[in-house]
């Protein structure tokens, strides 16, 4: 699974701020998306990946031709 996280998108600024407050690195985000339990949110259509003590809410675009998952993190939750 090839993953590319787009850290330049305007929606990602909120997720980066939440990561800093919670002590979660960019590498932790990728690990959570790869290994975490995934669930689709019914109202927004975004995906949420639960891993360890936190969850990542993100939008995903899949490009089948080049087998690439492009990830746009929205927020980070602690549970």
pLDDT tens digits, 40-71:
999 999 999 999 999 999 999 999 999 999 99
What pLDDT is stored for residue 56 in this prediction? 95
pLDDT surpassing 90 at residue 10: no
pLDDT at 2 over 90: no
d(CA 71, CA 61): 7
Residue matched to tokens 């927020």: 75
Locate the domains of the chain by residue range: 2-78
2-78 to CATH, choices 1.25.10, 3.40.50, 1.10.3470, 3.30.2310:
3.30.2310
Whole-model pTM over 0.75: yes
Dihedral of CA 12/16/67/37: which sign? negative
Q: Where are the beta strands (DSSP E) in 1-79?
A: 2-5, 37-40, 47-51, 54-63, 68-78
Task: State percent of the chain over pLDDT 90.
Answer: 81
**Residue 19 burial class via C-beta count within 10 angstroms: exposed 0-12, middle 13-18, buried 19 and up:** buried
Please give the pLDDT value at position 41.
94
């Amino acid at each position: 699974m090839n993953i590319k996280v787009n850290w330049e998108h305007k929606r990602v600024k909120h997720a980066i701020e939440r990561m800093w407050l919670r002590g979660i690195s960019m590498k932790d985000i990728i690990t959570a998306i790869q290994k975490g339990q995934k669930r689709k949110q019914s109202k927004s259509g975004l995906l949420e990946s639960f891993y360890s003590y936190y969850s990542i809410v993100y939008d995903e675009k899949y490009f089948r031709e080049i087998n690439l998952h492009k990830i746009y993190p929205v927020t980070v939750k602690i549970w």
